[in-house]
Structure 1
Amino acid sequence: MRTGHALRWSSIAAAAVLLWSGGIAHADGPADNTTPAPSTPPPSGGSNAQNIYASATHSQIKISYPKGGDGGGKKGNLGAVDPNWKPPACWYEPVFTPEGLERFVDESDGNGDVGIHQSWFGKELWTDHYRDGKPQDNMDENWTSAPGYENYNKGKDGYFWRSVAPDDSDPDSWDCGLIMFWQDAGQIPQVPNAPTAKTLAEYAYDKVKVPDTEIELKPEAKSTVNLPTWVWLDKGTFQEVQVRAELPNTGLWAETTAKPVALHLEPGTEDAETYPASGDCEINDDGSIGTPYEKGDAEQTPPCGIKYLRATNGQPYELKASVTWQITWEGTGGAGGDLPDGTFETTQDMNVQEIQSINR
C-alpha cells in the first residue's frame, strides 16, 4: 500500500498497519488518542558528517555549563514559580544538507519522521517529494500543500528544517505542523514557531541544575520548644548557575543564568513561628543567607530561623527549605530579559523537645 498523504492514527490506521509496506505516510493522533504510533529504530544520516536521528523528539541544541550546574554533588532541576509557564513545546531546526538527506533516505530506506506527528515509511514517499518535485500535505490547521524539491536541492547552500518537540504528547506540539522544508543558509525561516534566542533561553531553563538545599541549623536536628532554631546558608554554598544553549547552523545562542536570591522556610507545623514572619530569608550582600549561630545567641532573635511552639511526639516535623533563583537570559544580537523565578525545595526531619531551658 502506498499513499501520498498523511493518515491520522485512528481506527482506520489499525487496518492500514496490516498492509505496512512500500511507502506509508503515518500521522499520530492528538494527545488524547491512546493508540500508540508504530516505532522504528533511529537510522543514521545527517549533515556535516554528524549523526542525525530520524526522531522529531531529538533536538540538536547543544548545552554547556559556563558556571556551575555540571559538577559533582547532588543537584536538581528548578520548578518555575509561575504555574502557567513552561518551556517551548515545539520549534524548527536544520537537520539535513541536500547530501545528508539523500544519504539518510538511502541508508534508512526512507523510514523516519518528516515532522513531529508525521512519519514516512518507505523510500518512495521521500524520493517523490524531495527528489522528484511532487507536493505533499503539511499538517497545519489548513492542511496546506508543501511544494516538492528537485534532486534534494543538491547544489544549493542551505538546510532542510524539521519540527522538534521534546515531548510529542504535549498538545501544543501540534502547533508545528509543517513537514520538513528548505531554508537557504544563513537565514532563519519566517514561519510560526521558528527558533529565536529566547526559544533557546527557555529550553536552557529546563536544563538548569542547582545544588541541593542543605541549610545549616543550630540546634541541628532537635529543637526546643519556645527557643529559636537558627538557620543559615554559607556564602560559598550557592553560586550562580549558567546554562548556554546553541543551535548549530543557525548562529542562535542564549545563556540562561540562575542567581539565588532568597530562602523560604516552612516549619512543617502551624505551631511554629518563622523569622522573618513571612518565612522568606533574603540573601546577604556577601551571598550568604541568614547569620551563623554563635555561643550566647540562644536568647536572641535570628534574622533567619524558626521557633517551634509545640514538641513532637514520636513523629518529627518536616521542615521544608526552598531557595528562590532569579532567572535572566541574554543571547544572539543583544537580546535578553527575565524568565520566571525558579525554586528548589528539600525536606528534612525536625524533632522538638519540651524543656524550659537549654545550655548551648
Structure 2
Amino acid sequence: MYSSVGGDPAGIADDKAHYQGGKPYKNFNATRNDRGMWWVGVKNKDMGQDPGAGACNRKPFWVDAGKDPGAPEAVNTKTLADLAYQRTRVPDAEVELKPANRSTVNLPTWIWLDKARFKEVTVRAELPGTGLWAETIAKPVGLHLDPGTDDAETYPASGECAINDDDSIGTPYAKGDSDQTPPCGVRYLRATAGQPYQLRASVTWEVTWRGAGKTGGDLTNGTFETTKDMDVQEIQSINR
C-alpha cells in the first residue's frame, strides 16, 4: 500500500540523494500540506509472505494537494468514496397508510411518505493533510408497492410511486377523499381469510459520489423495504 508522509521519517532520508540535482524533483523538502505531500510505498506487515506486499517498493514521489496519487493500492478519492458509502445511513422506509393496517374490499388504501424523512443524505470522508476528499450523495428516487396478493390493484398500475415536486411521495389522506383515487396506494379485491396480506413498500435510493480533482461517479443503489400486515374485510350490508 502507499501512504502520505510529512517531514523526514526513517527510510526517506536514504533516498534524498536520488532526488537532488533536479531529477526528478528540484525541491525534495517541499512538504507544505497546502501544496502537496510526499508519498511512499509501505509494506503491510499483516500481509506476511504475500507476493503483493513486494510490489509496494516505489521510491517517494510528490503529489499535489487534492490530486489522486495514481499508484496501485494507494488511497484515492474512490477509496474515500467507498468509505463514505459504508457510513451512509438513510431513514427507515416507514410509510403512512390510511386506513392503516385494516382495509375493506374495493376501498382504496392511501399511501404516502413524508418529505421531512424522504430527503437527500450526504456523507463525507477525507484524508487529512492531502487535500483528498470524497462524499456520497444518496437521493431517494421512488417507492415501489407490492400488495402481497394478486387480488389487488396498485396506484399507479405499475406500483411505482414517483417523487413529487416537494420531494414527498403520494398524498396524505384527507377527510372526504374516500371516493377518490389515490396517486399512490392499493385496492384489495378480496378479503383476507385468517392471514393478513403482506404489503411491501420498497424505497430506492440512488447513490453517486464526487471528490477532489473533479472526480466522481455512480455507486450501487440501495433498496430498503418495510412490510405492513393488511387485514381486509368484506363490506357488511343488510338486505330487507
- Output the TM-score relative to the length of structure 2: 0.74
Match of 2:171 in 1: 291
SS of the equivalent of 2:52 reads: coil
Match of 1:177 in 2: 52
* Counterpart code for 2:63: G
Match of 1:191 in 2: 71
Classify 1:223/1:163 alpha carbon distance in 2 versus 1 (closer, same or farther; 3 Å).
Answer: farther
8 Å Cα contact 1:98/1:152 also seen in 2: no
Q: How far is 1:189 from its partner? A: 4.5
Task: Pick the aligned partner of 1:204 from 64, 84, 87.
Answer: 84
* Counterpart code for 2:3: P
> RMSD of the TM alignment (CA)?
2.9
SS of the equivalent of 1:285 reads: coil
Match of 1:302 in 2: 182
Q: Which runs of 5+ in 2 are unaligned?
A: 17-28, 30-37
* Counterpart code for 2:139: K
Q: How does 1:200-349 map to 2 (within 5 A)?
A: 200-349=80-229
Q: How far is 1:95 from its partner? A: 7.0
Q: How does 1:30-45 map to 2 (within 5 A)?
A: none
Higher relative contact order (CA 8 A, sep 6+): 2
Measured against aligned partners, the alpha-carbon deviations of 1:251-273 in whole angstroms (never above 9, x if no partner) come to 22111111112111111122211
SS of the equivalent of 1:253 reads: strand
Match of 1:42 in 2: none
Identity %: 59
Q: How far is 1:160 from its partner? A: 4.3
Q: How far is 1:322 from its partner? A: 1.2
8 Å Cα contact 1:96/1:161 also seen in 2: no
The whole-number CA distance in structure 2 between the counterparts of 1:325 and 1:313 is: 35
Match of 2:3 in 1: 94
Q: How many pairs align?
A: 207
The whole-number CA distance in structure 2 between the counterparts of 1:273 and 1:215 is: 18
Match of 1:134 in 2: none
- Output the TM-score relative to the length of structure 1: 0.51
Match of 1:104 in 2: none
Q: How far is 1:338 from its partner? A: 3.0
Measured against aligned partners, the alpha-carbon deviations of 1:94-130 in whole angstroms (never above 9, x if no partner) come to 1777987xxxxxxxxxxxxxxxxxxxxxxxxxxxxxx
8 Å Cα contact 2:3/2:74 also seen in 1: no
* Counterpart code for 1:202: D
Q: Which runs of 5+ in 1 are unaligned?
A: 1-91, 101-150, 169-173
SS of the equivalent of 1:289 reads: coil
Match of 1:153 in 2: 12
8 Å Cα contact 1:97/1:160 also seen in 2: no
SS of the equivalent of 1:202 reads: helix
